Structure 1
């Protein structure tokens, strides 16, 4: 990468730094989700493997059909489980989920200490302010370079 002078290089550097931070936060979220998702997927795949292992004879037709139905049912359960647990893994999902009645009901089932951990008003405001500082810094840099030209 050739070094460019002026605001183009600064703009690239700032955007790249911000993107790397976002990538790291996404990777952390994926690592938190890996264990539970892996557990649910092992159960799901076990139904498929058992369906494939059983002989394709009339004696095992009921068991094979039941395993196929359980496989389809587990896909739906996996999607529901992952969708409902996403807010536990990242604040971005949590901020949106608090507005959903079902998720608020799930939080009310927990004790107040756990529910207060999901009060993201202060955390999200801090993150918004940090993002605003970043973009204000970028705007000031670009405006300064326009005035120099």
Structure 2
């Protein structure tokens, strides 16, 4: 099967990770970002075991573990009532845990990998729609321009 020509909207953690996985699978990937410079938005986030599995497949889990903090339990109360009490150790796989990490740290790890891979990133491109072009779709941007067709 030939590699596909894929467009991804957004350079957030999901867009960057998807671009890396698709690129490594042999596809031509182009990222479109609405900001003039890709950057993290927000403060912290928590990575669950499924996210860690993706980062491990990308070869980035060790970097994330070094920059984040291990979380073994989530506990929350609303007034006098416990509304959340999750112990990762109670799950089937005892080695499970979460990672608390600042969004900028995760972004840096993923963005640097995208740059090293040579994946094209077009900045200042606000996507507003897409339109069919045969079996493909072209992206329409806020400035009225339309992209080449992508798979």
Judge same fold: TM > 0.5, yes or no: no
Instruction: Provide TM-score, normalisation by structure 1.
Output: 0.21
Instruction: Provide TM-score, normalisation by structure 2.
Output: 0.21
Q: Which has the higher helix share?
A: 1
Larger radius of gyration: 1
